[in-house]
Structure 1
Amino acid sequence: MFDIFWRSVVIGIGATVLMDIWAIVLAQATGGSLPNWAPVGRWFWHLGNGKVFHDDIGKAASYEHELALGWIGHYVVGILYGILLVLIAGPGWLAEPTFLPAWIWAIVTVGAGWFLLQPGLGIGWAASKTPNPAKVRFLNLVSHTVFGFGLYATALIIR
């Protein structure tokens, strides 16, 4: 049982690392910016006070360590997604990982960003309040596809 747990944790970490590498490559290739995890950290901080949705997270009270909390939260969520994938797919998936369950799960997890995190940050349901919601949604799907590949690839490496 512990073997299944630790491998699930490693799978979540590996997938999150690959997603972060993808963000760096994308930013360098397009001249765009890297993800800023400070607003996410601020959002996590305010969850402790029972506040889930903000009109603008930038106007919410700041927290001294919000950037660190954002990074920690990012990785904790990735780990939870790795654990949940193994719980859903079953321990047999760890012995013979396939891409499809990992990819489907990764696409499903976009929903947490679209319908919890993004409105929580004040950027609307599925980034509807951003200047280009279709672009944000597309990039969310691509980054979660990379995350799904990371789940699969990490599972292959550690099986």
Structure 2
Amino acid sequence: MNIALQAALLGIGATLIMDIWAILQKRLFNIAGLDYRLVGRWLLHMTHAQFVHHTILNSKKMRGEMVLGWSAHYLIGMIFCYFMLAFSGSDWLTQPTFIPALLTGIISVCAPFFIMQPGFGFGVAASHTPAPAVARRRSLIAHTSFGIGIYITALLLKPLFM
């Protein structure tokens, strides 16, 4: 099985686990996760050369933003898994270890901190939000759950990769 397919399966599983964690946080603690429509809106506005918003919340809604946002969310998960496998080697899938998966999740928080949140108008690492420390902690927890999801998915799919 080639590395792109391995990364796709791993990324889908890990992102799904991340989303399950977000649902649990919402139901158990009333902590809302990211609305992926906003990701789609941001990406669609890029086609009109608008890369940074005063705040994405006040930007014009775009047709197809929900589908694009959710698709991008899963594609980005696959891309991070691809880079983890490229760095660790696809042999990692036959004997998955926790640390590379966890580190990938933690490192992946750089994307929202330094790309997405500034583009949304929320500042670097949510510095322009009402409670930056809370937003940062929630992002780190979400991306840590992604890393844990990579490991769990690898364990579940291990027979497929052997």
TM-score when scaled to structure 1? 0.92
Instruction: Name the SS of the counterpart of 1:32 in structure 2.
Output: coil
1:146 maps to 2:145: yes
Where in structure 2 are the equivalents of 1:90-129 lying within 5 Å? 90-129=89-128
Letter in 2 for 1:47: M
Distance 1:4 1:39 in 2: 30
Distance 1:9 1:15 in 2: 10
Letter in 2 for 1:108: I
**Superposition misfits of 4+ residues, deviation over 4 angstroms:** none
Which position in structure 2 is the counterpart of 1:134? 133
Distance 1:156 1:125 in 2: 35
Residue 34 of structure 1 and its aligned partner are, at CA, apart by 4.2
Where in structure 2 are the equivalents of 1:1-80 lying within 5 Å? 2-80=1-79
- CA distances 1:103-139 after superposition (whole Å, capped 9, x unpaired): 1111111011100000111111101111111111111
Distance 1:109 1:70 in 2: 17
TM-score when scaled to structure 2? 0.91
Distance 2:49 2:104 in 1: 28
Q: Which deviates further from its counterpart, 11-20 or 42-51?
A: 42-51
Query: Which runs of 5 or more residues in structure 2 are unaligned?
Result: none
Residue 60 of structure 1 and its aligned partner are, at CA, apart by 2.9
Equivalenced residues, count:
158
Distance 1:29 1:147 in 2: 19
Are the counterparts in 2 of residues 19 and 146 from structure 1 also a CA contact under 8 Å? yes
Q: CA RMSD in A?
A: 1.4
Letter in 2 for 1:32: I
- CA distances 1:19-40 after superposition (whole Å, capped 9, x unpaired): 0000000011112334311111
Query: Which runs of 5 or more residues in structure 1 are unaligned?
Result: none
Letter in 2 for 1:105: T
